[in-house]
Amino acid sequence: MTMLRQTRQRQAVIEVLRASRAHPDAAWIHSQVRGVLPSVSLGTVYRTLDALVRDGVVVTLERAGQATRYDYKRAGEDHHHAVCRTCSAIFDVDAALVPAISPAGLPPGFQVTAVRLEFMGVCPECAGMGQGVKPSEGHTI
């Protein structure tokens, strides 16, 4: 595989992730990347995602029994996540709006370099409390 091809695949995966706020899985990313680079395999998409995660460009969200979801790290935009237990939707939570976490309870001498929070719960749509929000098609309640 040529360097140029790898660069184009990498760029295509980044563009797909940058355009999405849905925290997609690799299969969805693959389907989107194929719109630009039709010959790209799912394996290539996985390898490209792995490299992007290693480079700190993309972060993963992992949940037991579910496909890993991917998130593009936007510069200067630190965020946490709120995860719906019912439909698995993942919402961004602006880290600047979340009060600072007290480091109490950490092992003595442990140096915190980053904080990642996940709020688990039920989204408004699944809770049936969406203000004027109709359940989207295919959304099972």
Could you report how far apart the first and last alpha carbons of the chain are, in Å?
46
Q: How far is the CB of 47 from Zn ion (least distance, A)?
A: 22
C-beta of 55 vs 103, nearer to Zn ion: 55
Q: How far is the CB of 73 from Zn ion (least distance, A)?
A: 9
CA atoms of 27 and 99, how far apart (whole Å)? 35
C-beta of 51 vs 87, nearer to Zn ion: 87
C-beta of 23 vs 30, nearer to Zn ion: 23
In the chain, the amino acid numbered 98 is V
Long-range contacts of 75-81 (CB under 8 A, 24+ apart): 80/116, 80/117, 80/118, 80/119, 81/23, 81/116, 81/117, 81/118, 81/119
**Token digits of residue 44:** 């290539």
Q: Which residues are annotated as a binding site for Zn(2+)?
A: 84, 87, 123, 126
Q: CB 62: neighbour CB atoms within 10 A?
A: 8
User: What does the binding site for Zn ion look like in residue numbers (CB under 5 A)?
Assistant: 71, 84, 86-87, 89, 92, 123, 126
Q: How far is the CB of 11 from Zn ion (least distance, A)?
A: 21
Are 23 and 69 in contact by the 8 Å Cβ rule? The answer is yes
C-beta of 6 vs 86, nearer to Zn ion: 86
Q: How far is the CB of 82 from Zn ion (least distance, A)?
A: 10
